[in-house]
């Protein structure tokens, strides 16, 4: 099947063609890379947009339970839902976060859902590019909602925040009065905090935790792209499917407000610029390391810098001059 046939089938919503195209964007083979770029160019004009929702939370907080319940609710409303993962640690942990076959079993069987595990790749830049291209492919395939899941560790939230329209942070009820060790940066990215497991014995702890986070969010300055009341914290139970419809209402309300204010398009424009710069940066780095002479020079310069023979800045300037001069 050639690129334009794959493009036609993706545009017709064919999930197998979509899966195949994502395999293409994950490949590092130069011919595959060329096909992936051609495919992206062909599909770009389709003009379809999905609501891209980033979802972050530490392992065990209930991400897969939430995605299954939430995804099935959206599917029942007639929406098409795609789920992707950003998981830079998958190679280390020996399995991807969506790789476990038992996760989201019911959602994966729904004809209007598409679930794609994270590839086994440690390099965050590679995962980011693959996810970005996969999101675009899902949009071209006519999905209404694309959920981008990440574990709440490391840099992956920053990547997801640069890929999504809304960023959701999933938390578990805290035992005591203390806020969980959520980094300020992650709090600042969150549009909505969902305190999960608000059921049974954990219900009152969840309510307390939610109030704590609502307080913490109020202390963060409101951003110009937020309407009154956002960012906000809410309790849900993914297991009992409680609070999910309300959470969806809030997500839609926020998205609509941002659309009306022009923030939505502005955010996507900023993201496009960010990824363009990032790709150029990555390409330059790749060019540096692909050339054996330059690579050797980098190693020598690194050593000279470490020994104090040359300053880091001067060494970098020399390497860049060599790169500009063509090696």
Which parts of this chain interact with ligand GDP (CB under 6 A)?
57, 59-65, 196-197, 199-200, 202, 237-239
Complex with ligand GDP: residue 203 or 322, whichever CB lies closer: 203
Q: How far is the CB of 119 from ligand GDP (least distance, A)?
A: 18
Cα separation, 252 vs 51, in Å, equals 9
Distance in angstroms (rounded) separating the CA atoms of residues 258 and 24: 33
Q: Rank residues 95 and 227 by Cβ distance to ligand GDP and give the closer one.
A: 95
Nearer to ligand GDP, 241 or 279 (CB): 241
Cβ atoms of 220 and 230 within 8 Å: the answer is no
Closest separation in Å from C-beta 149 to ligand GDP: 8
Radius of gyration of the chain (CA): 22
User: Of the two residues 74 and 169, which places its CB atom closer to ligand GDP in the complex?
Assistant: 169
Residue 199 or 297: which CB sits closer to ligand GDP?
Answer: 199
For the bound state, the minimum distance from the C-beta of residue 223 to ligand GDP, rounded and expressed in Å, comes to 27
- The residue among 24 and 195 lying less far from ligand GDP, judged by its C-beta, is 195
DSSP 29-85: -HHHHHHHHHHHHHHHTT----EEEEEEE-TTSSHHHHHHHHHHHHHHTT--EEEEE
> Between 35 and 118, whose beta carbon lies closer to ligand GDP?
118
C-beta nearest to ligand GDP: residue: 62
Least distance in angstroms from the C-beta of 253 to ligand GDP = 23
């Amino acid at each position: 099947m050639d690129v334009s046939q794959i493009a036609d089938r993706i545009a017709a919503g064919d999930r197998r063609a979509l899966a195949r195209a994502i395999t293409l964007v994950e490949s590092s083979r130069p011919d595959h890379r060329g096909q992936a770029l051609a495919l992206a160019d062909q599909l770009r004009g389709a003009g379809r947009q999905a609501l891209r929702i980033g979802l972050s939370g530490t392992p065990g907080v209930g991400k897969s339970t939430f995605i299954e319940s939430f995804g099935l609710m959206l599917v029942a409303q007639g929406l098409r839902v795609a789920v992707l993962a950003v998981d830079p640690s998958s190679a280390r942990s020996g399995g991807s976060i969506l790789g476990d076959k038992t996760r989201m079993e019911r959602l994966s069987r729904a004809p209007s859902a598409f679930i794609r595990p994270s590839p086994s790749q440690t390099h965050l830049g590679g995962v980011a590019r693959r996810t970005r291209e996969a999101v675009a492919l899902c949009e071209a395939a006519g999905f209404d909602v694309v959920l981008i899941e990440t574990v709440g560790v490391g840099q992956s939230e920053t990547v997801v925040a640069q890929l999504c329209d809304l960023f959701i942070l999933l938390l578990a009820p805290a035992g005591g009065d203390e806020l969980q060790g959520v980094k300020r940066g992650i709090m600042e990215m969150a549009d909505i905090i969902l305190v999960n497991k608000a059921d049974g014995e954990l219900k009152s702890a969840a309510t307390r935790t939610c109030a704590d986070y609502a307080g913490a969010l109020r202390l963060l300055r409101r951003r110009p792209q937020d309407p009154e009341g956002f960012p906000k914290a809410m309790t849900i139970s993914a297991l009992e499917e409680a609070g999910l419809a309300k959470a969806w209402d809030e997500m839609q309300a926020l998205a609509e407000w941002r659309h009306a204010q022009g923030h939505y398009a502005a955010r996507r424009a900023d993201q496009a610029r960010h990824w363009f710069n990032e790709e150029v940066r990555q390409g330059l780095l790749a060019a540096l390391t692909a050339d054996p002479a330059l690579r050797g020079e980098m190693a020598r310069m690194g050593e000279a810098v470490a020994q104090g023979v040359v300053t880091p800045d001067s060494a970098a300037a020399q390497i860049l001059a060599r790169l500009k001069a063509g090696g």
